[in-house]
């Protein structure tokens, strides 16, 4: 039995297979509004300790398009923590028929802890754990890039914003590396960078004007205000002045550059509304791709 806890669990061949399968599911099922019977009678349970409308409903729709039952039990966010009571609940859901859990939690490695605890009794997908990993987000980002760019090796990818708190950035950087991408630039003020990440995996650039030059892909991260309370991070309007993705700054990238954002968007903080609505923005395409990619992942794990 396989789990999907980190993008690093996957090799290039597997990621390529998932990209190919997701593209087929996108065209034949998602865009056609149809439904498969692949997982008819199977039970998928969501454990969202951290609320996330878009991720939760993306997984819900993906599961339903595969024909599975989805349970979205309300999680008591305050009383339920890692430990016996959570494990008791998880074992109960397995005994009731759950074959796959999607877990999201504010703490790092909760999905790993869960997979270790339940071992071969059910599949675990990490739907985001703290600042650590969010593998299906990385996969849908890779799918979006692959739809518009031919080769990962040749790409210049600029990732802008709150990198230190971003599981999206961590997962995507790893995914890009696995796919052979050599040129990744991390654009952020020093207090929003992680020294460990920048050592070897990507170049650092403190000036967005320099960092965006000739980029093929610009990934704009959400400012995680709730996680920035204790840092010396700049105020929102100050951040927008220094690092906000405006049409003028985007013009420094290649004319064919595409813009990604994991959502939800803070308009006027990390991104200008004019960029959100521009033809270069693939933000809503990412959402649609998310359903197809989660279908591909669930199908692959349950096969």
Name the site residues for a second copy (rule: CB under 8 A). 29-30, 32-35, 40-43, 53-54, 57-58, 60-61, 64-65, 69, 71, 73, 84-85, 88-89, 91-97, 99, 263-265, 267, 273, 284-285, 287-288, 290-291
Closest CA to 140 of 3, 29, 288: 288
CB of 12 to a second copy, least distance (A): 28
Q: How far apart are CA 12 and CA 142, in angstroms?
A: 12
CB of 100 to a second copy, least distance (A): 11
Between residues 80 and 213, which has the closer beta carbon with respect to a second copy?
A: 80
CB of 222 to a second copy, least distance (A): 11
CB of 33 to a second copy, least distance (A): 5
For helices 283-302 and 12-25, the axis angle rounded to 10 degrees is 110
CB of 186 to a second copy, least distance (A): 26
Would you say 129 and 109 are in contact if contact means Cβ atoms under 8 Å apart? yes
CA–chain centroid gap for 205, Å, is: 23
Between residues 6 and 42, which has the closer beta carbon with respect to a second copy?
A: 42
Cis peptide before 264 (omega within 30 of 0): yes
Residues 263, 267, 270, 275, CA torsion sign: positive
Number of CB atoms found within 10 A of residue 282's CB: 20
Q: Where are the alpha helices (DSSP H) in 10-166?
A: 12-25, 53-65, 84-95, 110-118, 135-148
3-state secondary structure 228-256: CCCCCCCCHHHHHHHHCECHHHHCCCCCC
For helices 135-148 and 283-302, the axis angle rounded to 10 degrees is 120
Between residues 152 and 240, which has the closer beta carbon with respect to a second copy?
A: 240
Between residues 94 and 204, which has the closer beta carbon with respect to a second copy?
A: 94
Distances (CA, A) of 250 to 71, 160, 227, 278, 280: 42, 12, 27, 11, 9
Between residues 65 and 177, which has the closer beta carbon with respect to a second copy?
A: 65
CB of 126 to a second copy, least distance (A): 20
CB of 107 to a second copy, least distance (A): 21
Between residues 17 and 85, which has the closer beta carbon with respect to a second copy?
A: 85
- Ramachandran class of 38: left when φ > 0, alpha when ψ lies in -120 to 50, beta otherwise: alpha
């Amino acid at each position: 039995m396989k789990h999907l806890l980190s993008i690093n669990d996957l090799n290039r061949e597997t990621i390529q297979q998932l990209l190919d399968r997701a593209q087929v599911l996108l065209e034949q099922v998602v865009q056609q509004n149809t439904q498969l019977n692949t997982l008819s009678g199977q039970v998928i349970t969501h454990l969202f300790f951290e609320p996330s409308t878009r991720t939760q409903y993306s997984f819900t729709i993906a599961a339903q398009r595969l024909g599975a039952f989805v349970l979205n039990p309300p999680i008591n966010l305050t009383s339920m923590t890692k430990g016996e009571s959570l494990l008791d609940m998880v074992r109960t859901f397995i005994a009731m028929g759950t074959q796959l859990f999607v877990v999201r939690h504010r703490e790092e490695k909760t999905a790993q802890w869960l997979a270790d605890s339940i071992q071969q009794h059910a599949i675990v997908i990490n739907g985001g754990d703290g600042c650590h990993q969010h593998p299906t987000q990385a996969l849908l980002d890779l799918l979006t890039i692959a739809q518009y760019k031919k080769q990962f090796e040749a790409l210049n990818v600029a990732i802008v914003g709150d990198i230190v708190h971003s599981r999206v950035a961590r997962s995507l950087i790893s995914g890009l590396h696995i796919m052979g991408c050599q040129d990744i630039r991390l654009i952020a003020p020093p207090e929003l960078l992680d020294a460990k990440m920048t050592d070897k995996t990507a170049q650092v650039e403190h000036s967005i004007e320099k960092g965006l030059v000739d980029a093929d892909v610009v990934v704009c991260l959400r400012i995680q205000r709730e996680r920035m309370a204790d840092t010396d991070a700049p105020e929102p309007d100050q951040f927008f002045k220094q690092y906000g993705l405006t049409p003028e700054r985007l013009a420094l990238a290649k004319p064919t550059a595409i813009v990604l954002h994991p959502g939800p968007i803070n308009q006027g903080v990390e991104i200008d509304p004019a960029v959100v609505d521009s033809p270069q923005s693939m933000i809503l395409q990412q959402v649609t791709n998310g359903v197809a990619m989660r279908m591909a992942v669930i199908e692959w794990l349950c096969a």
